[in-house]
Amino acid sequence: MDLNYTSEDLAFRDQARAFLDANLPADLQQKVRKHLRLAKDDYVRWHRILAAQGWVAPGWPAESGGPGWSAVQRHIWDDECARAGTPPILPFGVNMVAPVIMAFGSDEQKAHFLPRILSCEDWWCQGYSEPGAGSDLASLKTTAERDGDFYVVNGQKTWTTLAQHADMIFCLVRTDSGVRKQEGISFLLIDMHSPGVTVRPIIMLDEDHEVNEVFFDNVYVPVRNLVGKENKGWTYAKYLLGHERTGIAAVGRSKRELASLKRLSATRNKNGKPLIADPLFAAKVATLEIELMALEMTVMRVLAQEHKAPGPEASVLKVRGTEIQQTLTELMVEAVGPMALPFDAAYLESETPHSVFDDDDAAPLAAHYFNLRKTSIYGGSNEIQRNIITQMILGL
């Protein structure tokens, strides 16, 4: 594996950097760098800026509306977006349901949904987890019964991220209860504005409305919105989760957060010296940086296999990536100490220019720490990922 960028790669990096420097709105950049909350309009505005450039879907082939970039170019782009402090492109449409539609959807579905994902005309959310089917996803109970040209959907999904904004939800539903549980699942695309769909907020510890419960009460879904074949949804779900777990590694974002941690610990003193000069704390930072470098090399090895979909190696990326993200937040809170304790919701929502506690760097860190406890759970908990690694890679 050649770890050096070619002259063409470096030219692409310069092009990406110049575009971001010229087009990333300063207010969005400041929100991201300061760990402040993003509103729906923030996500949509950045999505449409990239869509106008043709760069909103780096992993899509050119024939589907993507830029047709190589794995190395995609990695460079992710790095540069993280360096600049861009809002994330929400993955549910671009990186999760779109690859499934491309691989298994009908021509009609591709023609209708893919352009709307690119333009952000449709905001997507994910309908996988249920109150009794989280890590054991195949135990889901939401049903879809055939009624002529429609499926009638009944059931409940939970922890549905940003469903309060969504136009569409891709759902795993049970279409056959008389077979092994993985074999009776189908993959449906459901209009969130349909009669019978109810969204109820779940307010988290940091008082943010990020996730929801979604209820389906006799919701009629056209059969044409079935992706692939009936009862083959588990295959499509695993394909989607491979793409999700690769993205969860978030190497670029962790590199930016590592740089923030170093700056933060350079401005905090311990025994009259910058915290980063303390041997014990410096050793923690150095260990984390080494682990992040190793993860980046592993991500590039996976991305280099452009001819195949992510397999069980995506579980490795998910486990290590989320552990590193969580450790970064732990060290940030450790660096600011008691100043991480006060909670200033108005500052987090950008309603005030500065924290009432006079420490703008420290004010968001506790909320950020608590929020990132989720990363080792969503996308399939890390315990489940270790089972996948044990069985499919180690053969145990």
Q: Catalytic site residues? A: 244
Distances (CA, A) of 61 to 40, 299, 310: 27, 20, 16
Q: Which two tokens stand for residue 364?
A: 């968001």
Question: Are the CB atoms for 320 and 389 separated by under 8 Å?
Answer: no
Lookup result for tokens 């933060």: 264
Question: Are the CB atoms for 183 and 231 separated by under 8 Å?
Answer: yes
CA distance 392 to 396: 8
CA distance 264 to 274: 10
What 3-state class would DSSP assign to 217? Answer: strand
Pairing of strands 124-127, 168-174: parallel
Burial category of 287 from C-beta neighbours within 10 Å (exposed 0-12, middle 13-18, buried 19 and up): exposed
Q: Which two tokens stand for residue 28?
A: 């969005």
Q: Which two tokens stand for residue 204?
A: 């988290």
Question: Are the CB atoms for 248 and 379 separated by under 8 Å?
Answer: yes
Contacts of 220 (CB under 8 A, 6+ apart): 147, 150, 151, 152, 153, 194, 195, 196
Cα radius of gyration rounded to whole Å, the chain: 22
Contacts of 313 (CB under 8 A, 6+ apart): 298, 302, 393
Packing angle of the helix pair 71-84, 251-266 (nearest 10 deg): 30
CA distance 172 to 157: 10
CA distance 321 to 317: 6
Instruction: For residue 221, give the H/E element and its range.
Output: strand 209-222
In the chain, the amino acid numbered 53 is Q
